[in-house]
Amino acid sequence: NAGVMQNPRHLVRRRGQEARLRCSPMKGHSHVYWYRQLPEEGLKFMVYLQKENIIDESGMPKERFSAEFPKEGPSILRIQQVVRGDSAAYFCASSPWTSGTGGEQYFGPGTRLTVT
């Protein structure tokens, strides 16, 4: 069973360009989470999605950022008009639906975005 896959692993964008980050969850997992880790800082939650639904986007910046998890295909985190402050590692995690244990999450290797 393949783990969570993210691509690209490294992405370089110039200021003002768009960045698209992809995440394929583990087989059988219907929940996807995106986290961001700024340099020398901890992981911060951004958004939680299920197929075709955004469940919680309380950690997402209000502008320029959007996320989707379509019925078919990977989850996409999209950053429009990137700025230098968007340079970070973006991690995707997935989980199956489980009850009673608070749910383990399985993380991908991350996409390291550099904005020049």
Partner 1 sequence: DAKTTQPNSMESNEEEPVHLPCNHSTISGTDYIHWYRQLPSQGPEYVIHGLTSNVNNRMASLAIAEDRKSSTLILHRATLRDAAVYYCILRDGYGGSQGNLIFGKGTKLSVKP
How many Å is the maximal CA-CA distance in the chain? 45
Candidates 2, 42, 53, 72: give the one binding partner 1 (CB under 8 A): 42
Number of residues that bind partner 1 (CB under 8 A): 29
CB of 100: closest distance to partner 1 in angstroms? 5
Site string for partner 1, 44-83 (x = CB under 8 A): xx--x------xx--x------------------------
SS3 for 16? coil
Residues paired with residue 21 on neighbouring β-strands, in sequence order? 77
Q: Which is nearer to partner 1, 17 or 59 (CB)?
A: 59
**Does 22 participate in binding partner 1 (rule CB under 8 A)?**
no
Which is nearer to partner 1, 45 or 64 (by Cβ)?
45
E runs forming strands in the chain: 5-7, 10-13, 19-24, 31-37, 43-50, 53-56, 65-68, 75-79, 88-95, 106-107, 111-115
d(CA 47, CA 55): 8
Residues of this chain that bind partner 1 (CB under 8 A): 4, 31, 33, 35, 42-45, 48, 55-56, 59, 91, 93, 95, 97-110
